[in-house]
Amino acid sequence: MREGDRNIDEARQGEAIQIESTVLNHSEVGVKSKKLFLESYGCAMNFSDSEIIASIMSDAGYSTTKDETEADLILINTCSIREKAEERVRNRLKGFKRYKRKNRDLVVGMLGCMAERLKENLLEQEQLVDLVVGPDAYRDLPSLVKKVNGGQKAVNVLLSREETYAEISPVRLDSAGVTAFVSIMRGCDNMCSFCVVPFTRGRERSRDPQSIVSESLDLFNRGYREVTLLGQNVDSYKWNLDIKGNVKDPSQPVVRFAELLEMVAEVNPELRVRFSTSHPKDMTDEVLHAMSRHENLCKYIHLPVQSGSSSMLKRMNRGYTREWYLGRIAAIKQILPGCELSTDIITGFCGETEEEHQETMTLLKEVGFIMAYNFKYSERPKTLAERKYKDDVPEEVKGARLSEVILHQRRYASELTQKMVGKVYRVLVEGVSKKSEDKFFGRTTHNTVIVFDKGDLKPCDYVNVRALKCTTVTLIGEVTTDKADA
Protein backbone atom coordinates (compact mmCIF):
# COMPACT_ATOMS: atom_id res chain seq x y z
CA MET A 1 0.00 0.00 0.00
CA ARG A 2 1.38 3.21 -0.71
CA GLU A 3 -0.94 4.93 1.55
CA GLY A 4 -0.24 8.10 -0.13
CA ASP A 5 0.29 9.15 3.43
CA ARG A 6 1.04 5.62 4.42
CA ASN A 7 -2.56 4.45 4.29
CA ILE A 8 -2.10 1.87 1.57
CA ASP A 9 -5.71 0.78 1.60
CA GLU A 10 -6.88 4.28 0.65
CA ALA A 11 -4.60 4.22 -2.39
CA ARG A 12 -6.64 1.28 -3.68
CA GLN A 13 -9.95 3.19 -3.78
CA GLY A 14 -11.87 2.67 -7.02
CA GLU A 15 -9.88 -0.19 -8.56
CA ALA A 16 -9.26 -3.86 -7.94
CA ILE A 17 -5.72 -3.15 -6.87
CA GLN A 18 -4.40 0.32 -7.48
CA ILE A 19 -0.72 -0.39 -7.87
CA GLU A 20 1.76 2.25 -6.85
CA SER A 21 5.51 1.90 -6.59
CA THR A 22 7.50 3.20 -3.67
CA VAL A 23 11.24 3.70 -3.87
CA LEU A 24 12.69 2.78 -0.51
CA ASN A 25 15.50 4.55 1.25
CA HIS A 26 16.63 4.60 4.86
CA SER A 27 19.47 6.35 6.62
CA GLU A 28 19.80 3.59 9.25
CA VAL A 29 21.30 1.24 6.70
CA GLY A 30 24.45 3.30 6.51
CA VAL A 31 26.98 3.66 3.71
CA LYS A 32 27.85 0.34 2.11
CA SER A 33 29.84 -0.67 -0.92
CA LYS A 34 26.88 -1.76 -3.02
CA LYS A 35 23.57 -0.11 -3.85
CA LEU A 36 20.11 -1.69 -3.80
CA PHE A 37 17.13 -0.15 -5.58
CA LEU A 38 13.99 -1.75 -4.13
CA GLU A 39 10.52 -1.12 -5.50
CA SER A 40 7.25 -2.51 -4.13
CA TYR A 41 3.83 -3.07 -5.66
CA GLY A 42 0.49 -4.22 -4.34
CA CYS A 43 -0.67 -4.95 -0.82
CA ALA A 44 0.56 -3.90 2.60
CA MET A 45 2.14 -7.31 3.12
CA ASN A 46 4.45 -6.68 0.17
CA PHE A 47 5.57 -3.37 1.64
CA SER A 48 6.16 -5.05 4.98
CA ASP A 49 8.15 -7.80 3.22
CA SER A 50 10.30 -5.15 1.53
CA GLU A 51 11.46 -4.00 4.98
CA ILE A 52 12.52 -7.57 5.73
CA ILE A 53 14.32 -7.76 2.37
CA ALA A 54 16.12 -4.48 3.06
CA SER A 55 17.29 -5.86 6.41
CA ILE A 56 18.59 -9.09 4.86
CA MET A 57 20.41 -7.24 2.09
CA SER A 58 21.81 -4.67 4.51
CA ASP A 59 23.52 -7.50 6.37
CA ALA A 60 24.87 -8.64 3.00
CA GLY A 61 26.49 -5.24 2.36
CA TYR A 62 23.85 -3.35 0.40
CA SER A 63 22.51 0.10 1.18
CA THR A 64 19.31 1.33 -0.46
CA THR A 65 19.20 4.10 -3.02
CA LYS A 66 16.49 6.24 -4.58
CA ASP A 67 18.42 6.39 -7.84
CA GLU A 68 17.88 3.26 -9.96
CA THR A 69 20.67 4.33 -12.33
CA GLU A 70 23.35 3.88 -9.65
CA ALA A 71 22.10 0.52 -8.40
CA ASP A 72 24.16 -2.68 -8.41
CA LEU A 73 21.02 -4.66 -7.59
CA ILE A 74 17.42 -3.89 -8.59
CA LEU A 75 14.67 -5.86 -6.83
CA ILE A 76 10.98 -5.57 -7.68
CA ASN A 77 8.57 -6.90 -5.06
CA THR A 78 5.47 -7.83 -7.03
CA CYS A 79 1.73 -8.41 -6.81
CA SER A 80 -0.07 -11.08 -8.81
CA ILE A 81 -3.68 -10.43 -7.82
CA ARG A 82 -4.69 -8.90 -11.16
CA GLU A 83 -3.47 -9.18 -14.73
CA LYS A 84 -3.07 -5.41 -14.86
CA ALA A 85 -0.66 -5.64 -11.93
CA GLU A 86 1.55 -8.08 -13.81
CA GLU A 87 1.49 -5.97 -16.95
CA ARG A 88 2.72 -2.95 -14.99
CA VAL A 89 5.61 -4.95 -13.57
CA ARG A 90 6.60 -6.40 -16.96
CA ASN A 91 6.72 -2.93 -18.48
CA ARG A 92 8.88 -1.75 -15.59
CA LEU A 93 11.30 -4.63 -16.05
CA LYS A 94 11.60 -3.94 -19.77
CA GLY A 95 12.65 -0.41 -18.85
CA PHE A 96 15.48 -1.72 -16.70
CA LYS A 97 17.08 -3.42 -19.70
CA ARG A 98 18.65 -0.15 -20.79
CA TYR A 99 20.57 -0.01 -17.49
CA LYS A 100 21.93 -3.51 -18.07
CA ARG A 101 23.27 -2.40 -21.43
CA LYS A 102 25.31 0.24 -19.63
CA ASN A 103 26.21 -1.89 -16.60
CA ARG A 104 26.71 -5.57 -17.42
CA ASP A 105 27.19 -6.39 -13.72
CA LEU A 106 23.75 -5.08 -12.78
CA VAL A 107 21.50 -7.78 -11.29
CA VAL A 108 17.73 -7.48 -11.69
CA GLY A 109 15.45 -9.67 -9.63
CA MET A 110 11.74 -10.24 -9.21
CA LEU A 111 10.36 -11.07 -5.79
CA GLY A 112 6.99 -11.85 -4.28
CA CYS A 113 3.74 -13.29 -5.58
CA MET A 114 4.29 -12.75 -9.30
CA ALA A 115 7.73 -14.31 -8.99
CA GLU A 116 6.30 -17.42 -7.32
CA ARG A 117 3.55 -17.77 -9.89
CA LEU A 118 5.65 -17.41 -13.06
CA LYS A 119 8.91 -18.95 -11.86
CA GLU A 120 11.35 -19.96 -14.63
CA ASN A 121 9.19 -18.39 -17.34
CA LEU A 122 10.55 -15.00 -16.28
CA LEU A 123 14.13 -16.26 -16.52
CA GLU A 124 14.12 -18.40 -19.61
CA GLN A 125 11.31 -17.36 -21.95
CA GLU A 126 10.97 -13.65 -21.27
CA GLN A 127 14.55 -13.11 -20.02
CA LEU A 128 13.50 -10.04 -18.05
CA VAL A 129 15.29 -10.90 -14.81
CA ASP A 130 18.36 -12.64 -13.45
CA LEU A 131 16.80 -14.07 -10.33
CA VAL A 132 13.32 -15.03 -9.14
CA VAL A 133 12.54 -15.32 -5.44
CA GLY A 134 9.24 -16.25 -3.81
CA PRO A 135 7.81 -14.79 -0.57
CA ASP A 136 9.23 -17.54 1.66
CA ALA A 137 12.79 -17.52 0.28
CA TYR A 138 14.06 -14.03 1.08
CA ARG A 139 16.74 -15.36 3.44
CA ASP A 140 18.32 -16.98 0.38
CA LEU A 141 18.67 -13.66 -1.50
CA PRO A 142 22.38 -12.99 -0.74
CA SER A 143 23.44 -16.44 -1.97
CA LEU A 144 21.21 -16.17 -5.04
CA VAL A 145 22.74 -12.80 -5.95
CA LYS A 146 26.21 -14.35 -5.64
CA LYS A 147 25.06 -17.15 -7.92
CA VAL A 148 24.01 -14.60 -10.54
CA ASN A 149 27.31 -12.75 -10.17
CA GLY A 150 28.96 -16.07 -10.94
CA GLY A 151 27.23 -16.20 -14.30
CA GLN A 152 24.16 -18.31 -13.47
CA LYS A 153 20.44 -17.64 -13.31
CA ALA A 154 18.93 -18.15 -9.87
CA VAL A 155 15.49 -19.14 -8.62
CA ASN A 156 13.96 -20.12 -5.27
CA VAL A 157 10.19 -20.10 -5.03
CA LEU A 158 9.74 -22.87 -2.48
CA LEU A 159 6.85 -22.26 -0.10
CA SER A 160 7.26 -22.96 3.60
CA ARG A 161 4.97 -24.10 6.39
CA GLU A 162 7.28 -22.55 8.99
CA GLU A 163 8.83 -19.32 7.69
CA THR A 164 7.60 -16.14 9.44
CA TYR A 165 10.85 -14.07 9.50
CA ALA A 166 9.99 -13.52 13.17
CA GLU A 167 13.51 -12.83 14.43
CA ILE A 168 14.51 -10.48 11.57
CA SER A 169 14.39 -6.84 12.57
CA PRO A 170 12.90 -5.01 9.56
CA VAL A 171 14.66 -1.94 8.22
CA ARG A 172 11.99 0.74 8.56
CA LEU A 173 11.91 2.32 5.15
CA ASP A 174 9.73 5.28 6.01
CA SER A 175 11.81 8.10 7.40
CA ALA A 176 8.69 9.78 8.88
CA GLY A 177 8.83 7.26 11.73
CA VAL A 178 5.17 7.59 12.78
CA THR A 179 3.42 4.41 11.70
CA ALA A 180 4.74 0.95 10.88
CA PHE A 181 3.57 -2.43 9.64
CA VAL A 182 4.03 -5.49 11.85
CA SER A 183 3.44 -8.83 10.17
CA ILE A 184 1.74 -11.29 12.54
CA MET A 185 1.26 -14.23 10.17
CA ARG A 186 1.87 -15.36 6.62
CA GLY A 187 -0.07 -17.33 4.04
CA CYS A 188 -3.76 -18.11 3.75
CA ASP A 189 -5.83 -21.27 4.25
CA ASN A 190 -8.97 -19.84 2.66
CA MET A 191 -9.54 -20.98 -0.88
CA CYS A 192 -11.70 -18.17 -2.25
CA SER A 193 -12.36 -19.21 -5.82
CA PHE A 194 -11.17 -15.90 -7.31
CA CYS A 195 -7.96 -15.55 -5.31
CA VAL A 196 -4.40 -16.59 -6.17
CA VAL A 197 -2.89 -15.80 -2.75
CA PRO A 198 -2.95 -19.38 -1.32
CA PHE A 199 -0.91 -20.49 -4.34
CA THR A 200 1.63 -17.68 -4.10
CA ARG A 201 1.99 -17.32 -0.31
CA GLY A 202 1.27 -20.83 0.94
CA ARG A 203 -0.45 -22.08 4.09
CA GLU A 204 -1.16 -20.01 7.18
CA ARG A 205 1.42 -19.83 9.94
CA SER A 206 1.48 -17.40 12.85
CA ARG A 207 4.37 -15.63 14.53
CA ASP A 208 5.29 -16.09 18.16
CA PRO A 209 3.17 -13.45 19.98
CA GLN A 210 6.09 -12.35 22.14
CA SER A 211 8.10 -11.49 19.02
CA ILE A 212 5.18 -9.33 17.84
CA VAL A 213 4.93 -7.59 21.23
CA SER A 214 8.71 -7.05 21.31
CA GLU A 215 8.71 -5.56 17.81
CA SER A 216 5.83 -3.24 18.73
CA LEU A 217 7.58 -2.15 21.94
CA ASP A 218 10.79 -1.48 20.04
CA LEU A 219 8.87 0.66 17.55
CA PHE A 220 7.25 2.66 20.36
CA ASN A 221 10.62 3.19 22.08
CA ARG A 222 11.99 4.47 18.76
CA GLY A 223 9.23 7.06 18.54
CA TYR A 224 6.59 5.35 16.42
CA ARG A 225 3.04 5.89 17.59
CA GLU A 226 1.00 3.51 15.43
CA VAL A 227 1.35 -0.08 14.27
CA THR A 228 -0.79 -2.00 11.79
CA LEU A 229 -0.89 -5.74 12.42
CA LEU A 230 -0.83 -7.52 9.07
CA GLY A 231 -2.04 -10.87 7.81
CA GLN A 232 -4.02 -12.23 4.88
CA ASN A 233 -6.64 -13.14 7.49
CA VAL A 234 -5.70 -11.78 10.91
CA ASP A 235 -8.77 -13.31 12.56
CA SER A 236 -7.35 -16.80 12.02
CA TYR A 237 -4.16 -15.95 13.95
CA LYS A 238 -3.41 -18.67 16.49
CA TRP A 239 -0.36 -19.59 18.52
CA ASN A 240 0.32 -22.88 20.28
CA LEU A 241 -2.39 -24.68 18.34
CA ASP A 242 -1.84 -27.20 15.58
CA ILE A 243 -3.78 -27.34 12.33
CA LYS A 244 -6.47 -29.46 14.01
CA GLY A 245 -6.87 -27.05 16.92
CA ASN A 246 -4.99 -29.17 19.46
CA VAL A 247 -2.72 -27.50 22.02
CA LYS A 248 0.93 -28.03 21.09
CA ASP A 249 2.55 -27.21 24.44
CA PRO A 250 0.30 -27.45 27.56
CA SER A 251 2.80 -25.39 29.55
CA GLN A 252 2.34 -22.42 27.23
CA PRO A 253 -0.77 -20.25 26.75
CA VAL A 254 -2.92 -20.41 23.64
CA VAL A 255 -3.03 -17.03 21.93
CA ARG A 256 -5.69 -16.16 19.38
CA PHE A 257 -6.18 -12.84 17.65
CA ALA A 258 -8.29 -11.29 20.41
CA GLU A 259 -5.58 -12.02 23.01
CA LEU A 260 -2.86 -10.80 20.67
CA LEU A 261 -4.67 -7.51 20.13
CA GLU A 262 -4.79 -6.91 23.87
CA MET A 263 -1.14 -7.84 24.29
CA VAL A 264 -0.10 -5.26 21.70
CA ALA A 265 -2.52 -2.66 23.04
CA GLU A 266 -0.92 -3.02 26.47
CA VAL A 267 2.54 -2.15 25.11
CA ASN A 268 1.61 1.47 25.77
CA PRO A 269 -1.72 3.34 25.73
CA GLU A 270 -0.09 5.95 23.46
CA LEU A 271 0.58 3.34 20.76
CA ARG A 272 -2.33 3.14 18.34
CA VAL A 273 -3.08 -0.30 16.93
CA ARG A 274 -4.80 -1.10 13.63
CA PHE A 275 -5.11 -4.39 11.77
CA SER A 276 -5.74 -5.72 8.29
CA THR A 277 -7.35 -7.78 6.91
CA SER A 278 -10.28 -9.49 8.61
CA HIS A 279 -12.42 -12.29 7.22
CA PRO A 280 -16.16 -12.21 7.99
CA LYS A 281 -16.38 -15.93 8.71
CA ASP A 282 -13.62 -15.74 11.35
CA MET A 283 -14.20 -12.41 13.12
CA THR A 284 -15.33 -13.22 16.67
CA ASP A 285 -17.15 -11.21 19.31
CA GLU A 286 -14.03 -11.65 21.48
CA VAL A 287 -12.09 -9.46 19.03
CA LEU A 288 -14.80 -6.80 19.21
CA HIS A 289 -14.89 -6.88 23.01
CA ALA A 290 -11.08 -6.54 23.09
CA MET A 291 -11.39 -3.46 20.88
CA SER A 292 -14.03 -2.01 23.20
CA ARG A 293 -11.73 -2.36 26.24
CA HIS A 294 -8.78 -0.43 24.79
CA GLU A 295 -9.03 3.12 23.50
CA ASN A 296 -5.82 2.70 21.50
CA LEU A 297 -7.30 -0.16 19.46
CA CYS A 298 -8.62 1.94 16.59
CA LYS A 299 -12.35 1.83 15.96
CA TYR A 300 -12.12 0.96 12.30
CA ILE A 301 -12.55 -2.44 10.68
CA HIS A 302 -11.90 -3.45 7.10
CA LEU A 303 -14.30 -6.37 6.51
CA PRO A 304 -14.33 -7.46 2.85
CA VAL A 305 -17.73 -8.74 1.73
CA GLN A 306 -16.96 -9.12 -2.03
CA SER A 307 -20.66 -9.55 -2.89
CA GLY A 308 -24.02 -8.97 -1.24
CA SER A 309 -25.53 -12.08 -2.81
CA SER A 310 -25.46 -15.43 -1.00
CA SER A 311 -25.44 -17.32 -4.29
CA MET A 312 -22.45 -15.31 -5.47
CA LEU A 313 -20.67 -15.80 -2.15
CA LYS A 314 -21.13 -19.55 -2.53
CA ARG A 315 -19.53 -19.48 -6.00
CA MET A 316 -16.74 -17.35 -4.56
CA ASN A 317 -16.26 -19.98 -1.81
CA ARG A 318 -16.25 -17.29 0.85
CA GLY A 319 -17.64 -19.49 3.62
CA TYR A 320 -20.50 -17.22 4.72
CA THR A 321 -23.83 -15.90 3.49
CA ARG A 322 -25.27 -12.42 3.19
CA GLU A 323 -27.17 -13.03 6.43
CA TRP A 324 -24.01 -14.11 8.27
CA TYR A 325 -22.18 -11.01 7.10
CA LEU A 326 -25.00 -8.72 8.21
CA GLY A 327 -24.96 -10.52 11.56
CA ARG A 328 -21.29 -9.64 11.97
CA ILE A 329 -22.07 -6.03 11.09
CA ALA A 330 -24.85 -5.98 13.70
CA ALA A 331 -22.43 -7.32 16.34
CA ILE A 332 -19.86 -4.64 15.48
CA LYS A 333 -22.45 -1.88 15.79
CA GLN A 334 -23.72 -3.27 19.10
CA ILE A 335 -20.35 -3.91 20.76
CA LEU A 336 -18.46 -1.00 19.15
CA PRO A 337 -20.92 1.87 18.63
CA GLY A 338 -19.43 4.43 16.25
CA CYS A 339 -16.91 2.00 14.72
CA GLU A 340 -16.47 2.75 11.03
CA LEU A 341 -16.30 0.07 8.37
CA SER A 342 -14.75 -0.41 4.97
CA THR A 343 -15.05 -3.31 2.54
CA ASP A 344 -14.02 -4.87 -0.77
CA ILE A 345 -16.42 -5.42 -3.66
CA ILE A 346 -15.86 -7.51 -6.80
CA THR A 347 -18.13 -6.76 -9.74
CA GLY A 348 -18.68 -9.12 -12.65
CA PHE A 349 -17.54 -12.35 -11.04
CA CYS A 350 -18.37 -15.52 -12.97
CA GLY A 351 -22.08 -15.85 -13.69
CA GLU A 352 -23.09 -12.69 -11.85
CA THR A 353 -26.66 -11.75 -12.75
CA GLU A 354 -28.19 -8.29 -12.54
CA GLU A 355 -30.24 -9.49 -9.57
CA GLU A 356 -27.09 -10.61 -7.74
CA HIS A 357 -25.43 -7.28 -8.50
CA GLN A 358 -28.42 -5.42 -7.09
CA GLU A 359 -28.15 -7.49 -3.91
CA THR A 360 -24.67 -6.05 -3.55
CA MET A 361 -26.05 -2.55 -4.01
CA THR A 362 -28.70 -3.06 -1.33
CA LEU A 363 -26.09 -4.42 1.09
CA LEU A 364 -23.90 -1.36 0.52
CA LYS A 365 -26.84 0.87 1.33
CA GLU A 366 -27.88 -1.16 4.37
CA VAL A 367 -24.45 -1.29 5.99
CA GLY A 368 -23.02 2.13 5.12
CA PHE A 369 -19.26 1.84 4.58
CA ILE A 370 -16.92 4.75 5.08
CA MET A 371 -14.84 3.35 2.24
CA ALA A 372 -15.07 0.55 -0.32
CA TYR A 373 -12.28 -0.83 -2.47
CA ASN A 374 -14.03 -1.76 -5.67
CA PHE A 375 -12.67 -4.43 -7.99
CA LYS A 376 -13.64 -5.52 -11.47
CA TYR A 377 -13.17 -9.30 -11.65
CA SER A 378 -9.93 -10.41 -13.26
CA GLU A 379 -9.46 -14.15 -13.79
CA ARG A 380 -6.22 -15.49 -12.35
CA PRO A 381 -4.45 -18.72 -13.29
CA LYS A 382 -4.65 -21.76 -10.95
CA THR A 383 -7.68 -20.48 -9.07
CA LEU A 384 -10.82 -22.55 -8.55
CA ALA A 385 -12.76 -20.02 -10.61
CA GLU A 386 -10.46 -20.54 -13.59
CA ARG A 387 -10.90 -24.30 -13.37
CA LYS A 388 -14.60 -24.46 -12.53
CA TYR A 389 -16.38 -21.37 -13.85
CA LYS A 390 -16.58 -19.41 -17.06
CA ASP A 391 -15.56 -15.75 -17.01
CA ASP A 392 -18.79 -14.92 -18.80
CA VAL A 393 -19.74 -11.42 -17.70
CA PRO A 394 -18.91 -9.00 -20.55
CA GLU A 395 -16.27 -6.41 -19.77
CA GLU A 396 -18.68 -3.56 -20.45
CA VAL A 397 -21.12 -5.03 -17.92
CA LYS A 398 -18.35 -5.47 -15.35
CA GLY A 399 -17.35 -1.85 -15.90
CA ALA A 400 -20.90 -0.53 -15.68
CA ARG A 401 -21.51 -2.36 -12.42
CA LEU A 402 -18.20 -1.16 -11.04
CA SER A 403 -19.15 2.42 -11.92
CA GLU A 404 -22.49 2.01 -10.15
CA VAL A 405 -20.76 0.79 -6.99
CA ILE A 406 -18.20 3.60 -7.10
CA LEU A 407 -20.85 6.27 -7.65
CA HIS A 408 -22.90 5.04 -4.69
CA GLN A 409 -19.83 4.86 -2.45
CA ARG A 410 -18.68 8.36 -3.33
CA ARG A 411 -22.10 9.76 -2.53
CA TYR A 412 -22.35 7.92 0.77
CA ALA A 413 -18.78 8.75 1.82
CA SER A 414 -19.38 12.42 1.05
CA GLU A 415 -22.58 12.44 3.13
CA LEU A 416 -20.84 10.68 6.02
CA THR A 417 -17.88 13.06 5.94
CA GLN A 418 -20.28 16.02 6.00
CA LYS A 419 -21.80 14.65 9.21
CA MET A 420 -18.35 14.70 10.84
CA VAL A 421 -18.03 18.48 10.44
CA GLY A 422 -18.35 20.25 13.78
CA LYS A 423 -17.03 17.36 15.86
CA VAL A 424 -13.70 17.20 17.70
CA TYR A 425 -11.38 14.27 16.99
CA ARG A 426 -8.22 12.99 18.64
CA VAL A 427 -5.70 12.87 15.81
CA LEU A 428 -2.23 11.40 15.44
CA VAL A 429 -0.02 13.85 13.51
CA GLU A 430 1.53 11.89 10.64
CA GLY A 431 3.22 14.45 8.40
CA VAL A 432 3.00 17.40 6.04
CA SER A 433 -0.12 17.70 3.91
CA LYS A 434 0.35 16.94 0.23
CA LYS A 435 -1.34 20.16 -0.78
CA SER A 436 0.24 22.64 1.64
CA GLU A 437 3.62 22.83 3.35
CA ASP A 438 1.98 24.93 6.07
CA LYS A 439 -0.36 22.15 7.18
CA PHE A 440 -0.11 18.74 8.76
CA PHE A 441 -2.37 15.76 8.23
CA GLY A 442 -3.33 12.96 10.55
CA ARG A 443 -6.04 10.36 10.97
CA THR A 444 -8.80 9.82 13.44
CA THR A 445 -9.37 6.49 15.15
CA HIS A 446 -11.88 5.85 12.34
CA ASN A 447 -9.13 6.21 9.70
CA THR A 448 -10.48 9.50 8.37
CA VAL A 449 -7.81 11.94 7.20
CA ILE A 450 -7.96 15.46 8.66
CA VAL A 451 -5.78 18.44 7.69
CA PHE A 452 -4.89 21.31 10.04
CA ASP A 453 -2.33 24.09 10.64
CA LYS A 454 1.12 23.03 11.76
CA GLY A 455 1.46 25.44 14.65
CA ASP A 456 4.07 24.11 17.10
CA LEU A 457 3.15 20.51 16.45
CA LYS A 458 5.41 17.75 15.16
CA PRO A 459 4.81 14.27 13.74
CA CYS A 460 3.89 11.66 16.40
CA ASP A 461 2.04 14.23 18.51
CA TYR A 462 -1.55 13.63 19.49
CA VAL A 463 -3.84 16.60 19.15
CA ASN A 464 -7.56 17.39 19.29
CA VAL A 465 -8.86 18.86 16.05
CA ARG A 466 -12.29 20.30 15.34
CA ALA A 467 -13.54 19.57 11.82
CA LEU A 468 -14.64 22.83 10.19
CA LYS A 469 -15.33 21.68 6.63
CA CYS A 470 -14.59 18.81 4.30
CA THR A 471 -13.96 17.55 0.81
CA THR A 472 -15.50 14.24 -0.29
CA VAL A 473 -13.51 12.10 2.16
CA THR A 474 -11.09 14.49 3.92
CA LEU A 475 -11.76 16.80 6.86
CA ILE A 476 -10.23 20.25 7.25
CA GLY A 477 -10.02 21.46 10.82
CA GLU A 478 -8.38 23.51 13.53
CA VAL A 479 -6.53 22.48 16.65
CA THR A 480 -8.58 22.93 19.82
CA THR A 481 -8.31 22.39 23.56
CA ASP A 482 -11.89 21.10 23.63
CA LYS A 483 -12.45 17.49 24.60
CA ALA A 484 -12.64 15.05 21.70
CA ASP A 485 -16.03 13.68 20.71
CA ALA A 486 -14.36 10.62 19.17
The CATH code of the domain that includes 447 is 2.40.50.140
Same domain for 446 and 369: no
Q: At which of 156, 188, 223 does a domain end?
A: 156
Same domain for 369 and 468: no
- Residues 264/227, Cβ–Cβ less than 8 Å: yes
Q: What separation in angstroms does the CA of 33 have from each of 50, 105, 108, 267, 450?
A: 20, 14, 18, 38, 42
- Ordered DSSP codes for 415-448: HHHHHHTT-EEEEEEEEE-SS-TTEEEEE-TT--
Helix (H, G, I), strand (E, B) or coil at 64: strand
Mean pLDDT throughout 336-354? Answer: 97
**How far apart are the C-alpha atoms of 99 and 68, rounded to whole Å?**
9
- Ordered DSSP codes for 237-281: -EESB-TTS-BS-TTS--EEHHHHHHHHHTT-TTSEEEEE---TT
Question: Furthest-apart CA pair in the chain: how many Å?
Answer: 66
pTM passes above 0.75 = yes
Residue 367 resides in a domain: yes
Higher pLDDT, 15 or 242: 242
Q: At which of 122, 156, 190 does a domain end?
A: 156
Query: 385 φ, ψ to 5°?
Result: -60, -40
**How far apart are the C-alpha atoms of 263 and 176, rounded to whole Å?**
25
- The domain that holds 57 is classified in CATH as 3.40.50.12160
Residue 339 resides in a domain: yes
Residue 322 resides in a domain: yes
Same domain for 441 and 414: no
Mean pLDDT throughout 186-200? Answer: 90
What letter represents residue 97's amino acid? K
Same domain for 428 and 415: no
Sign of the Cα torsion 220, 263, 447, 201 reads positive
Residue 130 resides in a domain: yes
Residue 166 resides in a domain: no
Same domain for 410 and 276: yes
**How far apart are the C-alpha atoms of 398 and 123, rounded to whole Å?**
34
- Residues 179/230, Cβ–Cβ less than 8 Å: no
Beta partners for residue 451, in sequence order? 441, 476
Residue 122 is predicted with a pLDDT of 67
Cβ contacts of 64 within 8 Å, gap of 6 or more = 24, 25, 26, 29, 35, 36, 37, 38, 54, 171, 173
Residue 325 is predicted with a pLDDT of 98
Residue 398 resides in a domain: yes
Same domain for 147 and 232: no
What letter represents residue 472's amino acid? T
Q: Domain limits at 393? A: 179-419
Same domain for 333 and 222: yes
Residue 161 resides in a domain: no
Same domain for 433 and 401: no
Same domain for 456 and 373: no
Same domain for 381 and 252: yes
pLDDT surpassing 80 at residue 356:
yes
Task: Count structural domains, the chain.
Answer: 3
Same domain for 436 and 400: no
Residue 253 resides in a domain: yes
pLDDT tens profile 359-406: 999 999 999 999 999 999 999 888 999 999 999 999 999 999 999 999
Same domain for 146 and 266: no
Average of per-residue pLDDT values in the chain = 88
What letter represents residue 227's amino acid? V
**How far apart are the C-alpha atoms of 255 and 260, rounded to whole Å?**
6
Q: At which of 141, 156, 171 does a domain end?
A: 156
- The domain that holds 193 is classified in CATH as 3.80.30.20
